[in-house]
Structure 1
Amino acid sequence: MAILGCSLPQQWQQLMTLLLVLVVPMLLLLFLAATRRRRSRRSWGMLKGGRRLHLPPGPPRLPILGNLHQLGALPHRSLRDLARRHGPAMLLRLGSVPTLVVSSAEAAREVMKARDVDCCSRPDTAGARRLSYGHKDVAFAPYSDYWREMRKLFVVELLSARRVEASRHAREAEVEKLIARLGRAGGTPVFLEDHIFALMDGVVGTVALGNIYGAEQLAHRWKRFHDVLDEAMRAKAGFSAEDYYPNAAGRLVDRLTGAAARRERVFRDLDAFFDVIIDQHLDKQKGGGAPDLIDALVALMKERQGGFTRDNIKGLLSNVFTASVDTSSVTMVWAMAELIRRPAMLRKVQEEIRAAVGDPKQERVQADDMPKLRYLKMVVKETLRLHPAVPLLLPRETLRPVAICGYDVPARTRVLVNAWAIGRDPASWGDDAEEFDPGRFESGNKDDVGFGGAHFELVPFGAGRRMCPGMAMGAATVEFTLANLLYCFDWELPEGMAPEDVSMEEAGGLTVHKKTPLLLVPTRYKSAGRC
């Protein structure tokens, strides 16, 4: 599915070449599609009774392309720039798809709270449809009774008190491994992202797969599965013509560019891995063993006798793996990158953590220490403000005509919430909105602002019905891991590199990574027990 995180210029080179070769049939198909759109003009530009809609403002459009050419390689930035000229509720046409982009806290409040019931569905896009087994997941499923049931199941089985407790043990075990791996670096530079992704793999794998995670019969497949997950993220974020031209023309372009074939290849690889772990859980149930998430889903499949199938399990698993590993990992990398560029802030947060632990013989930060770490939590909030892992929240779709910020928005309009732009909006955050300053949450009118969906100037996890259900578990993992990284090690840049040399350039995708990997030197903190 294209979440507007793709690098469009390379894709456009392929697309334009094909358009030149196939210009006549393509234009014919697009002309027919445009004719159908003109015939349905009443539903888009007119209300019943002939009254013109008061549509949101937006930039001029090109024939056929609409505003697609204005997205650029980092759409969240391009859309922020357009919103500065056209307003926080801006209407674009991306290909043939009408799209409302909201870029302020007030506009986000209308979409995700005041009009949430009207704006809470998901658009039907090719990549999400295929990789979620026909929308049998939670993240991409349209709003329906099925979605409500699956979300409840997802929360109960993944985020219940029992499951959260299991995740705590998994976090502690994987942090222990992470600290040991970094300790073996011996003061040499490490690519921090690699180590953090390994930790998140372990946490999510243990919670979802239980004792089967890391088992010998699965280990040889697990490394390959990492690569498949990366490909799945690219398939969801990459350019798909069908997402913007949901007709025969879009499907034809996807076939000719190879986008459809890539989706199928990724789907087959994911499907094969999911079949293996489901089969192993069926065998485990025969032999006993501690239950995990997939055990609960397999039990439900047996109970419902066809009403809940293997495809339902696989759809939910696609969310567990593709959503949680990447988002938490990139947040931790951005946090460490911001701190290493500001030595005074780095010292302040380390001093807080080490003072909270107190006992110099204590090897690690413990769960009981976390409530004391107020400044660390502010660092995480500030990181999520400036670097939301998914800068354009997963797209919504209006179920019926709705009024947003005083404008008429027709049914079946795609809605994009630019969380990245909202987090940097001077109207909410002041003239220093682009500066990394955790202290802004310490006092004044921002001390109570959180990312739990109640404060719309900070919405990295969304809000309303489609808010990310794994927010609490993800935030706990990020905070606990960072606390231990900062407690057990002193961190420096490689020799000859100054803080201002650290590149903060972004790389586009469904989640936005640092374009240049973060290379740091960890040195054991002598007072941290055996760290």
Structure 2
Amino acid sequence: MSFNLQVFLFSSFPLLLVLLLLKSYFSSSKSHKNLPPSPPKLPLIGNLHQMAPGPHRALQSMAQTYGPIMLLHFGTVPVVVFSTVEGAKEIMKTHDVVFSNRPFLDIGGRLTYDARDIVFASSGEQWRQMKSISVLHLLSKQRVQSYQQVREDETILMIRTIQQANESVINLSELINTLTNNVISRVALGRKYERNEVKAILDGIVELLASFSVGNYIPWLGWIDKVRGLHRRADELAKDQDDFVEGVLQEHENKKESHVERKDLVDILLEIQRDNSTGFQLERYMIKAIIMDMFGAGTDTTSTTLEWTLTELLRNPRVMKKLQQEAQKVGQGRSFIPEGDIDKMPYLKAVLKESLRLHTPVPLLVPRESTKEVKIMGYDIPSGTQVIINAWAIARDPSIWDEPEKFKPERFLNSPIDYKGVHYEFTPFGAGRRKCPGITFAMVVNEIVLANLVYKFDFGLPGEEGLDMTEDVGFTVHKKLPVRVVATPCEQFDDCKG
């Protein structure tokens, strides 16, 4: 069961208050810096109590009162939150080098070989080399294209599964999760692994990353995390994860030399390590960290995006019909829309962009940390300050977007705005040195799956069921309840046809 932050804070408040008074009695100092406006905070916990139930929504609401640049205190840690496109550009472009570091998060570190992966690692030579290997050798456009057949195969299998349901109620969320798991397994690890083999590990990682760690924000109370078993759970999960990836590596090392042209990502990483072709010594734990980054991020964020997109299409029949008509025009009666035809579907791309705008998978991106003092938009940001960019709030800013709460894919038609990190009003994958290197891989999966789902089926809600939009907030923001639908073959509906 996940840790309840509010229950902990209020049940422990009397003891924590006494400890705070003793600690702060001798440590009162004032700063003459021009710091961003800061809302009132409670002793010891600062503004942590204001983060429930969803931090991205809470921070958006606070920004409407205190401004788009706020200084908060999460325990003893100063955190500056940017909810403005100008601020996002300053952090991720103008001062990108200064803010390219990551704060060390205890639980995240335990699950990523002491934060020596790509996502959570501190900025430095090792991180730069590992990211370079990923971008050039694992996630280049050519490499992503080489796995086209894998994506098409798994999409066809999902379509057959839906067809075999014979218009009974299906859990579309579960089918999407299975598909993304299978694609990542085949691309990264070389073969499918039964979902149960990795599901417990991935679910555990997601749960623990979403858990509140006292030590991250009140270091001198970090012992509480140990007492309540958070460290033990993280260490046990880290061992399970390491055992799994070690088994994958040994399987690859023991197999006979293959002459198959399409190598999986483990093959490529082992080859780089063996040949030392980059001039950088790629250690075994680095290979494991990269693989788990690919697997975790590739599965979770991709399936989340597809789930929210299909939810919005169910809520907006006009958009669904228009997308189906585009699919029928491109498909021309064939059994499948191949990946090569996706570029003929501008409305499909607009639908996915609009979904990413409204439902940014990681709404606060991943926190950054300043490596030296810098002035941003007139405010002093001290060295060592954590920085959060509320990409979700910026993507719903009414001063930037017309009717920002509405699902309107048309806003992206004939628009240069894209998600690749150069338009700071729309950064679902981040921008600058720390942007997600797997953008291309994620989006080609989203496109091929969505195109063929709407091409083959008309979706409806079963019986009297409504469409619950409640969020399940964690490291990524999922739908709390799965998408349950009845899928009718599209040829039975004139509305599907162009």
TM class by shorter-chain length? Answer: over 0.9
* Counterpart among 297, 302, 318 of residue 344 in structure 1: 318
- Counterpart Cα distance in 2 of 1:421 and 1:162: 34
* Counterpart among 434, 437, 460 of residue 408 in structure 2: 437
Preserved contact between residue 129 and residue 280 of structure 2 (Cα < 8 Å): no
Q: Which amino acid aligns with 2:489?
A: R
* Counterpart among 418, 427, 432 of residue 450 in structure 1: 418
The corresponding residue for 1:3 is: none
For this pair of structures, how many residues does the alignment match?
A: 490
Q: CA deviation at 1:166?
A: 3.1
Classify the secondary structure of the residue corresponding to 2:97. Answer: helix
1:255 is the counterpart of 2:226: yes
Over the matched positions of the two proteins, sequence identity in percent amounts to 37
* Counterpart among 226, 240, 245 of residue 274 in structure 1: 245
- Counterpart Cα distance in 2 of 1:179 and 1:254: 45
Matches within 5 A, 1:501-520: 501-520=466-485
Are the structure 2 counterparts of residues 266 and 224 from structure 1 closer, same or farther at C-alpha, using a change threshold of 3 Å? Answer: same
Are the structure 2 counterparts of residues 489 and 496 from structure 1 closer, same or farther at C-alpha, using a change threshold of 3 Å? Answer: same
1:198 is the counterpart of 2:178: yes
Matches within 5 A, 1:207-222: 207-210=187-190, 213-214=191-192, 219=194, 222=195
The gaps in structure 2 that reach 5 residues or longer are 494-498
Are the structure 2 counterparts of residues 286 and 356 from structure 1 closer, same or farther at C-alpha, using a change threshold of 3 Å? Answer: closer
Pick which of 276-285 and 198-207 moved more: 276-285
The corresponding residue for 2:456 is: 488
Q: CA deviation at 1:12?
A: 3.3
* Counterpart among 428, 433, 439 of residue 460 in structure 1: 428
- Counterpart Cα distance in 2 of 1:299 and 1:397: 34
Q: CA deviation at 1:99?
A: 0.3
1:525 is the counterpart of 2:479: no
Matches within 5 A, 1:72-471: 72-210=52-190, 213-214=191-192, 219=194, 222-245=195-218, 247-250=219-222, 252-284=223-255, 291-303=263-275, 307-358=281-332, 360=333, 362-430=334-402, 432-442=403-413, 447-471=415-439
Are the structure 2 counterparts of residues 161 and 107 from structure 1 closer, same or farther at C-alpha, using a change threshold of 3 Å? Answer: closer
Which TM-score applies when normalising by structure 2? 0.93
- Counterpart Cα distance in 2 of 1:57 and 1:121: 24
Are the structure 2 counterparts of residues 127 and 436 from structure 1 closer, same or farther at C-alpha, using a change threshold of 3 Å? Answer: same
Preserved contact between residue 9 and residue 49 of structure 2 (Cα < 8 Å): no
Q: CA deviation at 1:115?
A: 1.3
Are the structure 2 counterparts of residues 37 and 175 from structure 1 closer, same or farther at C-alpha, using a change threshold of 3 Å? Answer: farther
Preserved contact between residue 144 and residue 440 of structure 2 (Cα < 8 Å): no
- Counterpart Cα distance in 2 of 1:357 and 1:224: 36
- Counterpart Cα distance in 2 of 1:54 and 1:353: 54
Q: CA deviation at 1:31?
A: 6.1
Q: CA deviation at 1:236?
A: 1.3
Q: CA deviation at 1:526?
A: 2.9
Are the structure 2 counterparts of residues 33 and 146 from structure 1 closer, same or farther at C-alpha, using a change threshold of 3 Å? Answer: farther
* Counterpart among 6, 26, 29 of residue 12 in structure 1: 6
Are the structure 2 counterparts of residues 442 and 306 from structure 1 closer, same or farther at C-alpha, using a change threshold of 3 Å? Answer: closer
- Counterpart Cα distance in 1 of 2:440 and 2:225: 38
Preserved contact between residue 7 and residue 72 of structure 1 (Cα < 8 Å): no
Q: Which amino acid aligns with 1:124?
A: F
Q: CA deviation at 1:142?
A: 0.9
Preserved contact between residue 131 and residue 318 of structure 1 (Cα < 8 Å): no
Q: CA deviation at 1:191?
A: 1.2
More helix by share: 1
- Counterpart Cα distance in 1 of 2:55 and 2:284: 36
- Counterpart Cα distance in 1 of 2:269 and 2:157: 29
- Counterpart Cα distance in 2 of 1:132 and 1:37: 35
- Counterpart Cα distance in 2 of 1:289 and 1:479: 27
- Counterpart Cα distance in 2 of 1:433 and 1:109: 20
Are the structure 2 counterparts of residues 332 and 307 from structure 1 closer, same or farther at C-alpha, using a change threshold of 3 Å? Answer: same
Q: CA deviation at 1:163?
A: 2.3
Are the structure 2 counterparts of residues 456 and 485 from structure 1 closer, same or farther at C-alpha, using a change threshold of 3 Å? Answer: same
Kindly provide the CA deviation profile for residues 162-190 of structure 1, in whole angstroms up to 9, marking residues without a partner as x: 52123212111110111011111100111
- Counterpart Cα distance in 1 of 2:340 and 2:11: 60
The corresponding residue for 2:496 is: none
Kindly provide the CA deviation profile for residues 109-137 of structure 1, in whole angstroms up to 9, marking residues without a partner as x: 11111111111110011012111102221
Kindly provide the CA deviation profile for residues 439-493 of structure 1, in whole angstroms up to 9, marking residues without a partner as x: 12235xxx11111111111110011110111011111110111001000111111
- Counterpart Cα distance in 2 of 1:37 and 1:154: 46
Q: Which amino acid aligns with 2:475?
A: L
Q: CA deviation at 1:306?
A: 11
Kindly provide the CA deviation profile for residues 77-98 of structure 1, in whole angstroms up to 9, marking residues without a partner as x: 0000001111111110100110
- Counterpart Cα distance in 2 of 1:413 and 1:122: 10
